[in-house]
Amino acid sequence: MDEHRIRWDDLQIVRAISETGSLSGAGRKLGVSHATVFRRLTDMEQRLGVTLFERSRSGYTPNLAGEDLAAVAARVEADIVGAERRLAGQDLKLSGTIRVTTTDTLFAGLLAPLFNDFRGDYPDIELEVVISNQVQSLSKREADIAIRPTHRPPETLIGRQVGNIEQAVYGQRAHWKNTRVPLNRLSEHTWTGPDKHMGNTALEAWMTRQGLADRCNYRVDSMLGMQTAVRCGTDLAVLPCYLGDRDPELRRLTTSLPELATPLWLLTHPDLRRVSRIRVLLEAIGDNTRTALAQGQT
């Protein structure tokens, strides 16, 4: 009987192949080699005495048995993650690990000193920061807290808006000195803008509406990169005010642009809202972020 028992590792293999349609894709998803996936799938099918996938030149397609096990894998994963969250909720001590995900711009321009203060106040809490412009899944515990600019936070998460990220036009201080640039004359100057891989569609649309596309022949795929580029030349660029106003080498040349303002949210999973260390960080970072935004965007 024991030799036919299905293990969690088996279910992970089946689900990964079902989702990716190939052994190599499943290997990348699970962090193992193509050969390991093939060996484990072959061993599993031999132990169970059943074929789970239809093989073809286009890849691996689950049959009825494979679909059944892939669905079981999804339910088991959900149960495991739910149990982890419930156990985390029983921790009332101000210790343990908190995993926070945020963007590189927010970390460098706003959050790093706030995190440092938090670590000083709660030295027994281990803080892990995932600096990524890709959204991490809080439902799968890839992160406990997300600090993100968004107009539409996921309905599956809870949190609060801690302020608005204002944006304005900036230029190198030494070049522009005390000059203000009227919005109707922006197209007279050269620009640094977002590369398409940056994914800042709102800024791209604004620059198009302002007729600046033809004036922008320098594009960078990160906001921090755009900041550095403007510091080194005479171009104009739109930057978050919390970033540009604190840079002594830059000068704000316009008022904030209301159509580019974005709410900043602190988000977590509902199962973690009563965890003491999560609650303390949300309160501390939330209050301090609101203050820092107000100071950096006046």
Identity (one letter) of the amino acid at 94?
L
194 and 138 in a common domain: no
244 and 111 in a common domain: no
pLDDT attached to residue 134: 61
Is-contact 146 99, C-beta < 8 A? no
59-62/53-56 β-pairing: antiparallel
245 and 171 in a common domain: yes
273 and 251 in a common domain: no
246 and 181 in a common domain: yes
Question: In total, how many domains does the chain have?
Answer: 3
Q: Which residues contact 290 (CB under 8 A, 6 or more apart)?
A: 162, 163
Residue 89 placed within a domain: no
Cβ neighbours around 179 below 10 Å, total: 9
**Rounded average pLDDT per 10-residue block, the chain, 298 residues:** 67 90 89 88 88 90 90 84 64 75 92 92 90 61 85 86 93 82 76 89 91 90 94 94 94 92 92 85 87 70
Residue 9 placed within a domain: yes
pLDDT attached to residue 57: 86
Residue 286 placed within a domain: yes
| Strand ranges across the sheet with 237-240 | 237-240, 167-172, 250-252
Residue 91 placed within a domain: no
CATH number at residue 20: 1.10.10.10
| pLDDT tens for each residue of 97-155 | 899 999 999 999 999 999 999 999 889 899 999 887 665 555 556 788 999 998 888 88
Residue 215 placed within a domain: yes
Residue 161 placed within a domain: no
107 and 37 in a common domain: no
Residue 162 placed within a domain: no
Residue 43 placed within a domain: yes
Closest by CA to 105, choosing from 131, 136, 129, is: 131
**Residue 248 structural domain:** 167-260
116 and 190 in a common domain: no
Question: Rounded to whole angstroms, what are the CA distances from 174 to 183, 229, 232, 247?
Answer: 21, 14, 10, 12
pLDDT attached to residue 135: 56
194 and 145 in a common domain: no
172 and 222 in a common domain: yes
pLDDT attached to residue 249: 95
286 and 140 in a common domain: yes
Is-contact 200 222, C-beta < 8 A? no
CATH number at residue 105: 3.40.190.10
Question: Rounded to whole angstroms, what are the CA distances from 52 to 16, 31, 41, 261, 287?
Answer: 13, 21, 9, 51, 53
219 and 71 in a common domain: no
Is-contact 238 54, C-beta < 8 A? no
pLDDT attached to residue 90: 52
| pLDDT tens for each residue of 53-70 | 999 988 899 999 989 898
Is-contact 297 256, C-beta < 8 A? yes
CATH number at residue 205: 3.40.190.290
Mean pLDDT of the chain: 86
193 and 255 in a common domain: yes
Is-contact 132 163, C-beta < 8 A? no
